Amino acid sequence: MVKPPPEPDNKLQKQDFFEDPTLPLQVYIRDPQPEFPVHSHGFDELVIILKGTARHVIDGQEFLVRAGDVFVVSPNLEHQYREMHGLALANILFDSAALAMEQWDIRALPGFHALFSLEPTFRTQHNFRSRLQLPEQKLDKANGLVRELSRETEQRNPGYRVMARGLFMQLAVMLSRAYSTTPTEESIGLLRIGDAIAHIETNFAEKITLDELAAKSHLSKRHFTRVFQECIGRSPIDHLKHVRCKKAAELLRGTGRTITDIAFDCGFSDSNYFTRCFRQTMSATPRQYREKNGDIGTIQG
Interface with ligand RM4 (CB under 6 A): 12, 17, 28, 30, 33, 36, 41, 45, 91
When CB distances to ligand RM4 are compared, the closest residue is 36
What is the bridge-based pairing of β-strands 69-73 and 44-58? antiparallel
**Minimum CB distance to ligand RM4 smaller for 37 or for 158:** 37
Separation of first and last alpha carbons in the chain: 43
Pairing state between β 40-41 and 61-66: unpaired
**Calpha distance 211→164 (Å, rounded):** 40
CB 32 within 8 Å of CB 171: no
Minimum distance, C-beta of residue 60 to ligand RM4, in the bound complex (Å)? 16
Whole-number minimum distance, CB 50 to ligand RM4, in Å? 12
Q: List the one residue out of 61, 31, 48 whose CA is nearest residue 93.
A: 48
Of 65 and 175, nearer to ligand RM4 (C-beta) is: 65
- In the bound complex, what is the minimum distance in angstroms from residue 271's beta carbon to ligand RM4? 48
| Cβ contacts of 178 within 8 Å, gap of 6 or more | 111, 132, 134, 138
Phi, psi of 173 (to 5 degrees): -70, -45
In 110-239 the beta strands, taken as DSSP E runs, fall at 132-133
> With respect to ligand RM4, which residue has the nearer C-beta, 28 or 104?
28
Q: Which is nearer to ligand RM4, 10 or 127 (CB)?
A: 10
Angstrom distance (rounded) from CA 3 to CA 198: 37
CB of 130 to ligand RM4, least distance (A): 21
CB of 22 to ligand RM4, least distance (A): 19
Comparing CB distances to ligand RM4, the nearer of 30 and 141 is 30
Contact indicator for 86, 40 with CB cutoff of 8 Å: no
> Which regions of the chain does DSSP assign to beta strands (E)?
11-12, 25-30, 40-41, 44-58, 61-66, 69-73, 79-94, 132-133
Give me the least distance between CB of 138 and ligand RM4, in Å please: 22
At its nearest, how many Å lie between ligand RM4 and the CB of residue 206? 42
Length of the chain in terms of residues written: 301
Residue 36 or 273: which CB sits closer to ligand RM4? Answer: 36
> Residue 26 or 117: which CB sits closer to ligand RM4?
26
